[in-house]
Structure formats: structure tokens, C-alpha cells
Amino acid sequence: MPVITYIDAVTQALREEMRRDRRVFVLGEDVGVRGGVFRATNGLIDEFGEDRVLDTPLTESAIVGVSIGSAAYGMRPVAEIQFADFIMPAVNQIISEAARLRYRSNNDWHCPLVIRAPYGGGVHGALYHSQSVESIFMSVPGLKIVVPSTPYDVKGLLKSAIRDEDPVLFFEHKRCYRLIKGEVPEEDYTIPIGKAEVKREGTDVTVISYGLTLHFALKAAEQLEKEGISVHVLDLRTLRPLDKEAILEATAKTGKVLIVHEDNKTGGVGGEVSALITEEAFFELDAPVRRLCGPDVPAMPYSPPLEKEYMLSPEKVAAAIRELAEF
Amino acid sequence: MATDVTMPQLGESVTEGTITRWLKKPGDRVAKYEPLCEVATDKVNAEVPSTISGTLLEIVAEEGATVEVGQLICRIEEEGGAASPQPVDQGRESSPSASASAGQETPSMKRRYSPAVLRLAQEHGIDLERIEGTGKGGRITRKDVLQYIEGRKAASPASPRGDESPAAAEKKPAVPEIQLPAAGTSAKREGISVSLEEGDQEVPVSSVRRTIAQRMVTSKHEAPHAWTMVEADVTGLVQLRERLKNDFKEREGISLTYLPFFIKAVVDSLKEFPYLNSVWAGDRIILKKRINISIAVATDDALYVPVIHDADEKSIGGLAKAIHRLAEKTRSGKLTLEDMQGGTFTVNNTGSFGSILSQPIINYPQAAILSVESIVKRPVIKDSMIAIRDMVHLCLSLDHRILDGLMAGRFLQRVKERVEAYGPDTQI
Amino acid sequence: MGEARHLSLGLSDDQVLDMYRYMLLARKIDERMWLLNRAGKIPFVISCQGQEAIQVGAAFALDREKDWLCPYYRDMGMVLVFGQTARDLMLSAFAKAEDPNSGGRQMPGHFGDSRYRILSGSSPVTTQLPHAAGIGYAAKLEEKDLVVLTCCGEGSSNQGDFHEACNFAGVHNLPVIFMVQNNKYAISVPLKKQVAGGHVYKRAEGYGFPGVRVDGNDPLKVYEVVKQAVERARRGEGPTLIEAIAYRLVPHSSDDDDRSYRSREEVEEARKNDPLLLFKQYLTDCGILTEEKERELNERIAREVDDATEYAEAAPYPEPEDLYKHVYAE
């Protein structure tokens, strides 16, 4: 099976879906001729033309707004926001419009839209090219939020997102783009949205994570195995809706849960997962549910020591797991 | 002094680059900032400038090679030895934000039970005081409890198979494990207000007493008790024992009481009536294969109910020895956990303190309990004539969920037949 | 031969030489930053190359002692004129603690310096335009005759914030100059895919204030129109929209490869109109710039840039604990 990078999986999924369904089209800044600033849409304009791989003006609100209109009409737009940090002008369209279209029309209209955006830091992106924004949308019913961690998951989930009848926010950790490689089948396959996956079996501590930090958790687990600590790693893959069953099952496996994400701690997804666990798996808990997250500062600074202090790492994750294992 | 030149990070998220063309060759002079080679990455194509002035010594990464960021690509002999100023504080370790403040004594965590630990303890009837905690500050962890359960299972595999059976009945030991209720529940006196008058003495309830109390309540509460009794003519048994007891004492060094004889009769009858050797498990009845007889041993302050495991494999002599051994252990406080676990049927020798009739409380979660009352001489009709015979009452309390009168009655009949069958020539 | 252009604009020989110096300084700093980036010393560069004339010409038309700037990320020339030094810019490039713009927290090009009334900017584009309108409004409330100059690219002129800021400034007649630096490309997206109608300055009519188009390769022309806009604003006549036409001589940033969307020939052709070359020619023609002066200037600037580089490289980074500071008032 071919081994490809995380970002190639994005391109592959887009290409296959555009071939499969004429209604699918891509739009965003620099996605056409340039192939995207990260090359996520590389080569698509050559195959599908500039009408289906559209270089938009610099205007996030309109990118999403226009997508909503086309989606409501019956198309399947896949909008790219160049950096998740720049999604802010589009928040009004996403929350007030896309999330509510089906509900407010009493199912008369709906919005099968995908918004893709690279998020996350560790690339000297500073305050405005490193942010995690998923928590802004976590509390919005009507939206789905997907954050895959492996190339295999990327392809399967992006296809599902495109075929989904509701708006899906698809966040790709930019550091994973070229760093993470994996086997991806060349055939068509989908992965259901809303299903987490156990990426590693273990018996001592459960780590729940997504995105880049999922890989940190796996790395930490490898290291800790040598120290005799067995780590169970659950990849959420979808943040909204959360895979409640998988979360509770993973909790019951060890009784000790560490939630890891790069986003700020306060108000982050970890709080929601933690509440779910204590609410429904109280008697499985052998320790308080812990969260290892980004610090509560506005964003990740540019200067290397500051970025390093902010970012999580396999070492930081391992230290937290170790502490929990010893509790 | 040779300086290493490494592949720089040529863009956000770039992790490697391919050398497309070297612009300098070994021996060439290189000025600071002069380009050394051309590099292609996924995002940008660029030139790598030299960071120092000097002479190119050797090319490490050839044209066409793909090199990770930070890896060596060439070496330059620096001229003049004036190194470029290194920034101060590079790579300083970030101070640990939440480092543990070791130093002050943390109170022992031994009794800081987590929800999982408490749940498991309750489900398996475990006395948490008995477990060593391997967690932080001596805390008992879920793992500790699970390992303890495994260890117990291995020690006395009373349960036939499977951990799949519902936690409740199967895993509950048949003997009073000292089960400390969660802190607080026992403290509530359930609204009992008893007034203290002068001269009244308050005796604090020991943990053993508390446990016994708890078990009695549970047993009566859970199992609907029914009771039946038969009367057996054990004149032959009395004669038998008279004949054997001195030799036995000499040979074995212990007394031969009546109890082993009764237990033997019970055990053989249990083989015929497995339902008497069973456990209620909610949606099913579990017929226990092994026959482990719990016997009651009284001490000054409490009643202990140790177990003779596999009583059906023992002879009367063997049973006598087992009884003696357990009684000794009880009196000297040396009963082990294993001694207390796994009982499937209880025989209570109430006759030993003169009782002729009792209504014993079932040793939860067993199905029934038999009390052997005092053997008394009484006038009875035998062969249409009045005779003085040694008579004994055998009383059976049963869990009416599992057993009904018919089966219990039949069982008792068989016990009666067996004890009545003992005669002076019976072999033990 | 009539009076030299700069003299009729009220600029002395020294002043235009100074203009040239600033333009050259900006260019040299920028070039050094690209080198450092390719050497792996600084992770990111975003350039002013090709737009120095706009930035310096405009800045010279303002009052550096009282006017305000809400620049965008290419405005190196502008902040230099307003008071920042080569060292300041290098400290920012190296992300050192002493960086006056953000203490190393932001990427280079994110200018902010209360010493010189340069409002702190961010990466999401165009957000500075409503801010500029806000400053203008405050000035109006306080009855101050300061002027705010704010800049953005032609790409940014399509964000919602552009419309909202212009409209607001127009409604309230604020002393704000909106300067769009049209360098023909928003990363890879060319003008015709970006701006409906092809002309940003014409939108001003919709807002009720003048829109002016100017050749951005000529600092004197830019100076002239900005001066007019400044005087209008100080007289209380409200905003002006200026569209300065230039060309981005380098890729969008150090993370961009422009070979995938424009030809080398196009860039080479544009280099012929490099504002530095054109202005150098003008100054030479006026006799203000001699070869010796030019060489002296280059040497001086080279030393300044070297000093700034070495200083910044050796300066300490912020402490990791600094990460947690200044989320709120302390």
C-alpha cells in the first residue's frame, strides 16, 4: 500500500471526490494556480479547471457566505480558509448561517458544506498562524468538527465530510502536513464522522487526544512502555459529535484519563470530554481526570523559547502520563 | 576550524529539502551570505547562503540528496577564526511551570479511595484495609484492587468460570469478610435514638461485630428465609462414637466429636441435592461443584465461620481433623483469608451449647444452613414400644428463592437417614 | 529647465536625499533579512521590495511628531521614517526580547510602537482600517488636528473591514487617509481575480470622499497626493482613498514560491521600474546624488545593517516565563 503524507491525503481525497461528483468544487485564496499555500490543492486546477478550483478574492466572510449559497442550491463546496486564524471574519456566516440553515427552515433547506483550514503551531507561525480554533465552534449545534491525525484518517474523513449533508469544519494540523506519513489505500473508502479510534491498546493510563498531540501521545507511550507503563491511546478524530461510547469505554479500561490538546486549556474541548467522563463514568475513575493543554495565553508567540514553552511535546505528555500512572 | 553547515528551515512546515545544485565546490572560497547551493522543498525553492566566510572543505550531501532540516550538508573552514556572535540564552530550558513542591509531608493517601476502588471493593466484598497501596502516598489504586481480586481467585477458585457473571452473588465470599462500609454510612444510626440511663454501659462496636451485623442484615434482607426440621434417632451414632473416641484421641491427639459425622451425612446428601449447594445470582442459580462446608466457631467476642474445603473428599476422621484445626486457628486468631472463603453450605453445631431447636440465619449467599441441635435422650415409640433413644433435631433454614419445601424436605430426609444409619460397626 | 519637481513640492535637496536614504535603508535591511532567512537564521521574512517609494514618500508627507500610523506588514519604509531603527527591525526579525514591536511575540512586519504612534497590528489583514477610523474619531472628539494614515494591499481592500472602515470614516468625516498599496498580487492571486472593476480608488465615490490613483514607483508623486490628503484632513474635510500602483518584486513572503504563478520575465520587466533605480536616476539628474555620495551612502547603510544584524543576533531571547505575561493588566 502506498505511503503518503498527511497533505497528499487531503489532495487525494479532494481529487477523488471531484471526479466522483460534479457538484464538488473547491474555493479559497490561492487554491487554484498556486495549488494552495501549503499545496493542499496542488494539481487540481489542471484537471478540473478554474471554475471548479476557484481563486477567490481576499475575503473570508464571502468565501464562506458564497459557499453557503451554493451548498443550499445543491452544490458541494469545499472552502479553504488559508489559516484557521483567519476564520474570524467568517464566524458570523458559519455560526449564524451555516449551522442554523436546516434548523431555522424546519428542514426545508440544508447546507452540505465543508470548510477546511490548517491550524496549530510549532512552525514559527506566531500569534496568527498557529492558533487552534475548534473550541469556538464546539458549542454550536448544527456544526460538525473533524480533526484527523493520520493520512488514512484524513482521506476517509474528508470524503465523509464532503458527502455529509451538514456543514463540517475540517481542521488539519499544519505541522502534520509533511511530518506525518502513513499507508493510504488507493481505493475509495470512508470513515464515519463521530467515531473515535483506539490507536494503541494499554492498561495503565488512558490518553485521549487529537491532531498533532495524538502523535505526541503515541511517542510518549512508546517511551513509557520501556518503563513498564502501558498506555491506552484514543484518537477522537471527530470533536463534534464526540464519540461518547468510545470515550467511556476508554475510561473504563484504565480508570485514569489524561486529555491532551494544543488548544488553550480553559474553554477547550478537554473540559467537555472531562465533564462527560465524570458525569457518566464516575465509578470507573481511579484518579481525577487530567487535562494537558496549551496555556491560557492568547496565542503562540514567534520567539523560539516562547513557542517552545507554549507547545506541547512528547516529553511533556510523557511526564503527565507518568504522574498519573504513579497516582 | 571547520564549521558544520546544516539544512535550514526554509519555510513553515517544511521538514526536508533536496539539494538541486551545488554552487560551490571544495576548495572554493566562500564569503559570508554567499549562496552555497540551491535547494528544492515542497513549498519553496531557495538558495542556502553561507553563514560564515571561509573555504568550502567538503560536501556532505550530494546533488539530488534529500536532507532533513538540521542535517549536515557541508563543512567550511572558517577564516580568521572570528566566530559569528552566538545569541545569549539559546536553548535555555523552560522552567517547569508546575513542578511538584516536594518537601512538605503529604498526609498518607492510603484511605483516599477513588470511586473505582470503592465500587470494586463493594462488588467483591473486599476489605480495603487488607490491601497494600502502590499508588502515590500509599494510595490503593484500582490496579491494586484488581490484582488482589485476581490473587484471591487464584488462591481459592470458588467460582467455576468466567468473570462475566454479574458481580453480585458469585463473587461474594460466603464468609464474613470484614467489609468496612464507606466512611459515613455506618455512622448513621438510621434514626435509632436510644436513651442512655445511669448505669448503662456503652460498648463500642468492633469491626468484627459490625461486619457480622452487616452480614446478618444482608442475609435476612435478601433471602426469604423458610425453615423446616426433622428429628433423627442417633442412638447408633452415640454408640459408635463411644466405641471410637478413646482410640481416636490416642491416635490423632484430638477429640472425636459428633460434628464430623453430621457433616459427612450432610456432604453425601448434598451430592444428591445440588440445589442445596447453590447460590442465588439474580437471573440464575449457580450450582457449586465443590462442596465447602462452613462451620461456626464461637469465641468469646464473636462468631467466626471458617470453611472446610472439599469436605466431600474427606473421611470422618479427616473432617474431625479439619474441624479441630480450624477451631484452633480461630481461637488463636490465626485464620487466613483462604480459611474464610468459598463456603457453599453451613453446618452449625448449636447443640454444643445446649440448644434443641434453632432457626439459623443463612450464611449469605449460600442457599441453606443446617443446625445440629443437642443430642438428648428421650422416650420415643420404636417398633410399637416405648424406648429411650438418643434424639437430635436437625433444623434447616433455606433461601426460598432457590429452594422449596419439597426439595429441602427430601434433603433433610436423606441426612436423617444417613445419621440414623451410623452404627457401632460403621467405619470412619 | 524648470524648477526641479521636488523643489516645487517644497522639498529641499537634503530632504529628498534623506528620502532616498530611507528607501535604500529599507531595501538593504530587507535584502539582509532574506539572506538570513535562507541561512536558516530567521524563520520568516515579509518584504517591502518595490514599495519603498510609496512608504517613504507618504511618511514624509505626514507630521512625524503628531500623526498616527496603522501600517500593514510591508511598511518597513514607513516605520523607519517615523523613527524605528535598523536595530529595531532586526530585533523583531530575530524575535528577541528587546524587540519594541512585540518583544518577539509577533512575526516580523507586525509593527507597533507607541513611541512613534504606530498602532500594534496583527496578521488578519485589514483589521487595522477600522482601528484607524477609531483613532480618527477620537481625534475628532478631542478636537486634535492629527491625521491617521493606514495602509493595506489591494487584496485586503476586498475584506468586509475595508468597506466598513471607509464608510464609517466617510459618514463621520474623519481625518483618515486610506492608502491601498496595489502591488498587483495577493500572494498568488492577480489583480483581475481580486478587484472587481480593477480599480480600488474608484470605490471612494461610493463613500463620498475623493479617490486618487498615483504612480507608486515615484516617491515625489506619492508625496504630493498624500500631502494634499493630509491638508484636507487637517482642514476638517475628511478622508481620502489613495491607490498607489507598484509591483511586488519578491514573493509574498519567505514561505512563498512565486515561480508557480508568474513568469521570471514579468518580474525582470518590473525590475526595470524599481523605484530605487528610478529615484536614483532622478537625484543624479538633479545633481544631488553623485557616485561618491552614492558609494558613501551604501557604505554607511551597509555598516548600519551589519551593526543591526550583529546586535540583534547577539541579543537575548525572551524568557520562557514571559509567555504568561500581559494577558491581562498586572
Domains of chain B (ranges; CATH) run 2-88 (2.40.50.100), 210-420 (3.30.559.10)
Q: What is the pLDDT of residue A233?
A: 98
User: Is B28 annotated in the active site?
Assistant: no
Q: Is the pLDDT of residue B92 over 70?
A: no
Prior bond of B365 cis (ω within 30°): yes
Confidence of residue B199 (pLDDT cuts 50, 70, 90): confident
- Exposure of C51 in the CB half-sphere (CA atoms within 13 A): 31
Which of B44, B45, B74 is best to mutate for the C interface (most C CBs within 10 A)?
A: B44
Rounded CA-CA distance C302/C291 in Å is 16
Please enumerate residues of C whose Cβ is less than 8 A from a Cβ of A: 43-44, 95-97, 102-107, 110, 122-125, 153, 155-156, 158-161, 186-189, 193-196, 255-256, 260-261, 317-324, 327
**C27 vs C50: CA distance, rounded Å:** 9
**Euclidean distance between the first and final Cα of chain C, in Å?**
63
Q: Are C16 and C6 in contact (CB under 8 A)?
A: yes
Tell me how close the Cα of C176 comes to any Cα of chain A, in angstroms: 23
pLDDT band at residue B173 using 50, 70 and 90 as cut-offs: very low
| Chain A residues close to C317, C-beta within 8 Å | 303-306
- Inter-axis angle of helices C275-286 and C219-234, to 10 degrees? 90
Touching check for B20 and chain C: CB below 8 Å?
no
Tell me the torsion sign for CA atoms A81, A85, A86, A87.
Answer: positive
8 A C-beta contact, residue C38 and residue C206: no
A180 vs chain B: nearest CA distance in angstroms?
Answer: 10
Show Cβ contacts of residue B297 under 8 Å, excluding neighbours closer than 6 positions.
B303, B304, B305, B306, B326, B327, B330, B331
Q: Do C160 and A89 touch (CB under 8 A)?
A: yes
Residues of B in contact with C319 (CB under 8 A): 89, 92
CB A6 within 8 Å of CB A178: yes
Beta strand B66-68 with B16-22 is antiparallel
In angstroms and rounded to an integer, the radius of gyration of the C-alpha atoms of chain A is 19
Instruction: Mutation target for B interface from C44, C257, C259, C324: give the one with most B CBs within 10 A.
Output: C257
Residues paired with A117 in a beta bridge: A171
H or E element in which residue A62 lies: helix A60-73
| pLDDT for the residue B102 | 44
pLDDT in tens, C14-57: 999 999 999 999 999 999 999 999 888 899 999 999 999 999 99
Number of Cβ atoms within 10 Å of the Cβ of B123: 16
Count of Cβ atoms closer than 10 Å to residue B161 Cβ: 7
Instruction: Check the CA dihedral B330-B332-B333-B339 and report its sign.
Output: negative
Measured in Å, how far apart are chain B's first and last C-alpha atoms?
A: 99
- Mean of the pLDDT values across residues B149-157? 75
Residue whose C-alpha is closest to residue C82's, from C102, C46, C50, C58: C58
CA dist C306 → A87, B81, B201, C107 (Å): 39, 18, 96, 21
Q: Could you tell me the pTM of the whole model? A: 0.69
Please give the C-alpha separations between residue B226 and each of A161, A212, B176, B308, C291, in angstroms, as whole numbers.
65, 66, 22, 25, 121
pLDDT in tens, B94-129: 444 434 444 455 678 888 899 999 999 999 999 998
- Distance, CA of C230 to CA of C217 (rounded, Å): 20
pLDDT the model gives residue B222: 83
pLDDT digits (tens, 9 = 90+) for C77-97: 999 999 999 999 999 999 999
All residues of chain A having their beta carbon less than 8 Å from the beta carbon of residue B13 are 38, 123, 174-175, 177-179
Average pLDDT over residues B32-54: 80
Residue B13: which pLDDT band, with cuts at 50, 70 and 90?
low
Closest CA to B222 of B359, B416, B319, B361: B361
- The alpha carbon of residue A61 is apart from the nearest alpha carbon of chain C, in Å, by 7
8 Å CB contact of A283 and B42: no
Tell me the one-letter amino acid at A168: V
Q: Closest partner residue to A58 among C43, C155, C323, by Cβ? A: C155
User: C6: left (phi > 0), else alpha (psi -120 to 50), else beta?
Assistant: alpha
Q: What is the pLDDT of residues C262-314, one digit of tens each?
A: 999 999 999 999 999 999 999 999 999 999 999 999 999 999 999 999 999 99
Average pLDDT, chain C: 95
- B46 pLDDT band (50/70/90 cuts)? confident
Q: Kindly list the residues from chain A whose CB atom is less than 8 angstroms away from the CB atom of residue C320.
A: 305-306, 308-309
User: Which pLDDT score is estimated for B281?
Assistant: 79
Query: Three-state DSSP class for A183?
Result: strand
Q: H-type helices in C208-326, by residue range?
A: 219-234, 264-271, 275-286, 291-314
